[in-house]
Chains A and B, each alone.
Chain A
Amino acid sequence: MLIKNDNAHINVMFISEGTFPYIKGGVSTWIYQLITGLPHINFGVVFLGGRKDDYGDIQYELPKNLVYLSRHFIFEGQKKISLDKTDNNCKKENYEDIAHFHNLFRLKKIEDFPKNIQDLDFYSCGISETDFMYGMDSWRYIESEYNEYSPDSSFTSYFWTIRNSHSAIWKVADIAVKLPQFDIIHSPSTGYAGFMASLLKFNRKIPFILTEHGIYTKERKIDILTADWIKDELGISEHLKDIWSNFFEFIGRFCYKAADTIISLFNEAKHSQIGYGAPEEKTAVIPNGVDIKGFSKLIPLRKPVIPKVVSLIGRVVPIKDIKTFIKSVKLAAGTIPDIKGWIVGPEEEDPDYVKECRNLTAVLGLENNITFFGFRNIKEILPETGILTLTSISEGMPLIVLEGFAAGVPSVCTDVGACRQLIYGGLNEDDLKIGKAGEIAPTGGIKELSEFYVELLTDEEKFKKAQKAGLGRVKKFYTMDSFLENYSKLYRQ
C-alpha cells in the first residue's frame, strides 16, 4: 500500500523489514538519522511487515526528503487460487524445477545458485506461486521430503512451515516488480528485505548496499533455537528447525552474493559476515554515530553523587535477556540495598515475556528496586542514571551505549556484538589507549554483572575514569558527522 509518493526522483531506496517508520528501535533510528542527516539526497522506504495487526501508526515525523513510502505485509492473506488459468506465455515447469527450488535452501556454496532464481520473471513464469503452492508435483515433493527427513513429526506443522517460509518469497518478488525507479537500493538487513533488494539489483542492474546491524542469519537462528512455536503434539521437531535455519541461511548467502558493498557496524560483525559467506573484498565497517552536542547538554544536569541507578534501555524481549538483569540486581542489592534497576523500553512486542519478568521481580521481592517504565525519552532517563547496562544474548552495535557515553554514563554489558569494542576500545591502538568506559561480563553472567554494578556505583574514582573514557571515545570515533560523511561518500560512489 502506498503511503506517500511525491513523484520526485528517488536516489536511495531503503527496504525496511519490520523497522522504520512503524517500529521504534536501533535500526529505525539509524534509518531516520541517515535520512534527516543527508537532506540533499531523496530517500524512499519500502516497509515490509509480517501482518497488519502487529503494527500501529507511523512512529516518526516523516522527513521532507523522504519522497516515497509504501508498506506491505508478507504474511497477510492468501492469493486467490486459479489453477485453471495457466499463463501460456510461460514455459511449463517440471518436477525437477520444483525439486530444485526446494533444494536451494540446502546449497552451501554461492556458485551453486542457479541463474534463474535471480530473475524476477522466474517467480511469475518459471515456477509460479500457483504451481509451487497448489500444484500436484509440489505436493508430491513435500510428501517425499517429509517421509525422508521427519516422518515422525507432525505433518501439519511441517506442511505449513514449508508453505509459510516459501510463500513470502513470491510476495516479496511481487512487491519488487511494482516498485518505482531509483538509483541505489539500500537494505539494513538480509532476510526478506535483503532478498528483495537482491532481486531488484539483479533485475534493474542498480547498486545494492547492504548494512547489517546484527547478523540476521544468526539472530534468526537464535529465534529458532529458543522458539517454542516450532513444536507440535509430537514434540519439538528438529527437522522443522533445520528448515527455517536453512531458509534464512540461504537468503543470507543470496544477499551476500547480490550486494555490492556489505557494511557492518564493527569489526567482529564483519568477521561473522565473512563466516556466513560474505566475500571479504566487499565488506566494510561504518560505525554508528551519535549527536554529541545534544547529549553533552545532559552532563551538567547530573548530580554530584553517583545515582544508585542501573538502567537497561531496550525492548522487553527474550533476546535482551531482561531476566538476567533482574537477577543481577537482586544479587547487587545484597551490597547496596537501595540499588535501583530501571527497565526502560516498549513492552508490546512479547507480552508473555513481560509478564514473566514482572513475576520474577515479585518472586525475588524486588518491587522496591526494579521499575518497569515502558517507553520513555532517554534524555529524561540518562541524567538520573548511574550506569547503563545491556544483558542481551545478541546485539548489533547498540547506539544506546554510545549515547550514554556522550551523556556521561558508563556501561556494563554482556560480551555480545560491538559491546566489547565500544567499552574497552578496539578500533585501533589509539582507541585502546582511551581505556575502559565500563565493564564487559559474559552472557548470563549474573555474578559478574552484579559485581561490576556494585564496583562502579561505589568506587567513585573508577566511575569518573570510565565516564571520561566513554566521552573521549565517542567524541573521537563515533560522531554523527563522520557517520553521515561515510554514507554520503558511499552513495556518491
Chain B
Amino acid sequence: MAGISFELKKILAEKKLTSLFKAFTYSAFLSSGSWVISIVSIILVSFVASGLVKNKAVVAEFQVSITYLIALSLIESGFFQYIYTRFVADTIFKKKYNNILPGFFLIILLNMLIGFIICIPLALYLFKNEPAIYTAIFIFSFVILCGLWIINALLTGLKNFNFILYSFILGYLIIILLILFLARFGLEGLMLAFFTGQSVIFILMTVLIINNFPSRKLISFEFFKKGNAYLSLAFTGFFYNAGIWADKFVFWLSPYTSSQVFGRLRDSVIYDVPIFLAYLSMVPGMAVFFIKIEGEFAEYYSIYYEAILRGDTFKKISSAGNAMIFSARDAFFDVLRIQAIADIIIFLIDRSLFRLFGISYIYLPLFHILLLGTLLQLMLFVLICFLFYFDRKKESLFITFIFFLLNTVFSIISIYLGPYYYGYGYVYSLLISIVVSIIFLRRFLNEINYHTFMRF
C-alpha cells in the first residue's frame, strides 16, 4: 500500500502549540522588579548614611557613587536580563529543570565578565585622580550588582519567599552596621560597607538558586543553541533600562542642571530630589500591579491557552480570550485608579510631606510634574508587561527604543527651554510610548485568536 497517511496522526498529536506557553513565565516582577529594588536601595542607603555620617560631603559622594553603580550596572545587565528570563521560561515550559542552573551560571558569569571589562576603563576615566582603593571597590561592586540583576530574574520562580526577604534584610543590616564602623575611613569605608552587604546578598541568593535548581552540569553552552538567544530581547532589555535612566543622565550631564560631586561623577540637585521622591510615590500602584497581573491576569491568561491546548470549542476559546482581555483591561485601570488616588492625596498634602522630610518648597512645581511622570511610568510598565506576556518581541523592542530615544531627546530639549519645562521631557516621552503601546496591544488583542492560531 502506498501512502503516508498513517503519519498524519503523529502530526495532529504533535503539539505545535507548545510555543504558545513559552512566554507564560515572563513575570511582572521581572519587567520592573530590579528597578524597584534599585530605587529602594539608593534611597534607603542614602537615608541611612546621612543619618549616621556627619560629614555631609562624604554622604553626597557616597550617594552619587551608588546611584551611578546601580544605574550603569542595570543598563549593562539589560542586555542579558530578558534573554535569560526567556531561556528560563522556555526550560521550565519544557520541564527541563536541570538546564536552568547551567544556563544561569553561563549567563551570570558572562554578564559579570562583560561588566568587569566595561567597568575598568569607565572607572579609570571617571576616577582619574581618585584613590585606587575607591576605584577598585567601585569596579567590584559593579560586577556584584551585574550578578544580582541576573539573580533577580530567577527569584520570582522561587517559593522561598521568606529566605529571600531575610537575605535582603540581612544584607542591608550589614551595610548599616558596617557604615557605623567604617564611616571613619571616609568614602572608601562606606563603599566597602555597600560592597560587603551586596556580596552577602549575592552569595545567599546563589546558594538558594543552587539548592532550588539541581543539575549535574555546572555550566552549559546550550543557551547559545539556535532559538535560545534572541537578539531582539537583548536590545529590548537594554533600551528599557537605558530609557528609564535616560532623563536622569541628561540632567546629570548637562552643565545647566548639574554639578560635579566626585571624580567625574555629577549629580543634579534640581532634578534628583524630586524624581526620587516621585518614585517613592509609586509604591501603592506597584503593589496593585503585582497583585492584579501576577494574580488575576496570569490566571485568565493560562485558562485561555489551556482551552486551546486542551481542544475546546471555538466558542469556549473565544470567551476565555475575552475574559483574559477584560482582566487585562481591569488590571490596567485598577493600577491607574489606585495610583491616581494616591497621587491626588500626595498632591493635597505635599507641603506637609516636604516639611516632614525637611525639603525645600522650591522643588514643589517639578515634583508635581514628575509625580504625573511616575504615574505614566507605571502605565508603561503594565503595558510592556502585557506585551511580554503575549510575546510581542518586535513591538516591545520598538516601544522600549522610542521610550529611550524620546526620553533622551525631550529631556535635552526641556533643559534648553528652561527650568519651567524640566520634567516635561520625561512626561511626554512616556505619554507617546504609552499611546503606541496601547495601539499595538489593541491591534493584537482585537484579533487574538487569529494571532494565536495563524501566526505562531
Contact = CB atoms under 8 A, between A and B. Distances in A.
Interface of A: 16-19, 25-27, 48-51, 54, 74-75, 81, 133-136, 138-139, 143, 146-147, 151-157, 159-161, 164, 188-189, 191-193, 213-214, 216, 219-220, 223-224, 227, 229-230, 232-234, 244, 317, 319, 349-350, 394, 396
Given A50-B8, A139-B454, A229-B12, A17 B313 contact: no
A25 B7 contact: no
A134 B450 CA distance: 9
A27 B454 contact: no
Contacts of B310: 156, 233
28 contacts: A17-B3, A18-B2, A18-B3, A26-B1, A49-B4, A50-B4, A50-B7, A75-B7, A75-B8, A133-B454, A134-B454, A139-B453, A147-B314, A151-B315, A156-B309, A156-B310, A156-B312, A160-B11, A164-B8, A164-B11, A189-B3, A214-B1, A220-B5, A224-B5, A229-B9, A233-B312, A234-B312, A317-B6
Contact of B311 (A138, A151, A229, A233): A233
Given A164-B8, A164-B11, A25 B1 contact: yes
Interface string B270-312: 0000000000000000000000000000000000000011111
A17 B454 contact: no
B7 A51 contact: yes
B95 interface: no
Contacts of A234: 311-313
B122 interface: no
Nearest to B453: A159
Contact of A189 (B2, B9, B453): B2
Contacts of A49: 4, 7
A159 to B, nearest CB: 5
B311 A216 contact: no
Contact of A154 (B1, B5, B10, B311): B311
A302 B447 CA distance: 73
Interface string B1-33: 111111111111100110000000000000000
B1 A213 contact: yes
Contacts of A350: 6
A171 to B, nearest CB: 12
Given A17-B3, A156-B310, 12 more contacts: A18-B2, A18-B4, A134-B454, A139-B449, A151-B315, A153-B313, A155-B317, A156-B312, A160-B12, A191-B4, A229-B9, A234-B313
Contacts of B1: 25-27, 213-214, 219, 319, 394, 396
B4 A146 contact: no
Nearest to A219: B1
A191 B313 contact: no
B2 A191 contact: yes
Interface of B: 1-13, 16-17, 308-315, 317, 447, 449-450, 453-455
B2 A216 contact: yes
Contact of A19 (B2, B12, B449): B2
Nearest to B7: A50
Contacts of B13: 229
Contacts of A151: 313-315
A156 B449 CA distance: 11
Given A191-B3, A214-B1, A152 B454 contact: no
A138 B313 CA distance: 19
Contact of A51 (B3, B10, B12, B454): B10
A382 to B, nearest CB: 22
A219 B6 CA distance: 11
Nearest to A233: B311
A418 to B, nearest CB: 13
Given A349-B6, A396-B1, A161 B312 contact: no
Contacts of A159: 453
A29 to B, nearest CB: 12
Nearest to B13: A229
Contacts of B10: 50-51, 54
B383 to A, nearest CB: 24
B454 A154 contact: no
B314 A192 contact: no
Which of A27, A147, A156, A234 has the most B CB atoms < 10 Å from its CB? A156
A394 B315 CA distance: 40
Given A18-B4, A319-B1, A136 B311 contact: no
A317 B8 CA distance: 15
B313 A27 contact: no
B454 A138 contact: yes
A20 to B, nearest CB: 9
A76 to B, nearest CB: 10
A216 B3 CA distance: 8
Contacts of B3: 17-18, 189, 191, 216, 219-220
Nearest to A156: B311
Contacts of A219: 1, 3, 5
A51 B17 CA distance: 18
A229 B317 contact: no
B311 A134 contact: no
A157 B311 contact: yes
Nearest to A214: B1
A17 B450 contact: no
Contacts of A230: 12
A152 to B, nearest CB: 6
Contacts of A192: 4
Contacts of A139: 449-450, 453-454
A223 B312 contact: no
Given A75-B11, A154-B313, A223 B2 contact: no
A225 B175 CA distance: 73
Contact of A155 (B2, B8, B16, B311): B311
A164 B4 contact: no
B316 to A, nearest CB: 8
A138 B11 CA distance: 21
B366 to A, nearest CB: 44
Contacts of B447: 136
Contacts of A25: 1
B454 A232 contact: no
A219 B17 CA distance: 30
Contacts of B12: 157, 160-161, 164, 229-230
A145 B4 CA distance: 27
A224 B449 CA distance: 28
Contact of B4 (A48, A153, A396): A48
Contacts of B8: 50, 75, 164, 229, 244
Contacts of B308: 155-156
Contacts of A189: 2-3
Contacts of A48: 4
Which of B9, B11, B16, B317 has the most A CB atoms < 10 Å from its CB? B11
A49 B5 CA distance: 10
A256 B455 CA distance: 36
A327 B158 CA distance: 58
A244 B3 CA distance: 14
In the A-B complex, the 10 residue pairs with the closest CB atoms: A50-B7, A154-B311, A229-B9, A189-B2, A155-B314, A18-B4, A50-B4, A232-B311, A156-B311, A139-B450
B451 to A, nearest CB: 9
A216 B8 CA distance: 15
A17 B2 contact: yes
A216 B5 CA distance: 10
B57 to A, nearest CB: 57
A74 B3 CA distance: 12
A190 to B, nearest CB: 9
Nearest to A160: B12
A154 to B, nearest CB: 3
A17 B1 CA distance: 10
Given A154-B312, A160-B16, A227 B2 contact: no
